[in-house]
Amino acid sequence: MPRSRFLRGIDWLSGTAGYTSGILIIVAMLVICYGVALRYLFGMSTIWQTELAVYLLMFATFVGGAYGLRHGDHVRINLVVQVLPGRVQIGVRLLAAVLGLALVLTIAVVSGFMWWEAVERGARSGTAWNPPLSYPYFILPLGMGLIALQYLSVVAGLFRALLAGELGDDAPDQPAESAEGGPGL
């Protein structure tokens, strides 16, 4: 059964978040190299380089998490699960995905309140650069929201596999192979 347009949209969003995160890691590396070169070649320093690099890497970590979940690159211990019968494996993976969804939704809500408080107060970092904290505080609820959407996609796939009685060798919470042989986006 083909995936719905909504689930394909979630996969596209996760893929876009992953590639954006990869680009921002490169940008963070360039910012750090710029700061190092400026300091050691010219004896000068910046007031923004370290903080910006931290914010870029925060974005890559939290927003890129949805991409990792989409491609099964998240940490999981499946030694015991692998020896269980097929339907039980799917059930255990479904339970783990539902618990993961609940966790990231909780973090998204709590961090969303923190972000809104920073917006209302006009909080700033307090460093020499002193950027508004509303931008970096938005990274966590955004990332957890994207991971929650990807967990919805995983739960839907596992639930469909459980109902259909799919007992194949591939873990049903992993992305299907595309026609080109790689993970489908």
pLDDT digits (tens, 9 = 90+) for 161-173: 888 876 554 444 5
pLDDT reported for residue 163: 87
Lowest average pLDDT, out of 21-25, 76-80, 143-147, 153-157, goes to 76-80
What mean pLDDT is predicted for residues 106-130? Answer: 96
pTM for this entry: 0.84
Cβ(25)–Cβ(19) under 8 Å?
no
E runs forming strands in the chain: none
Q: 10 Å Cβ neighbour count for 84?
A: 14
Cβ(11)–Cβ(175) under 8 Å?
yes
What mean pLDDT is predicted for residues 63-90? Answer: 86
Q: Is 181 left (phi over 0), alpha (psi -120 to 50) or beta?
A: left
Alpha-carbon distance of 145 to 108, in angstroms, equals 6
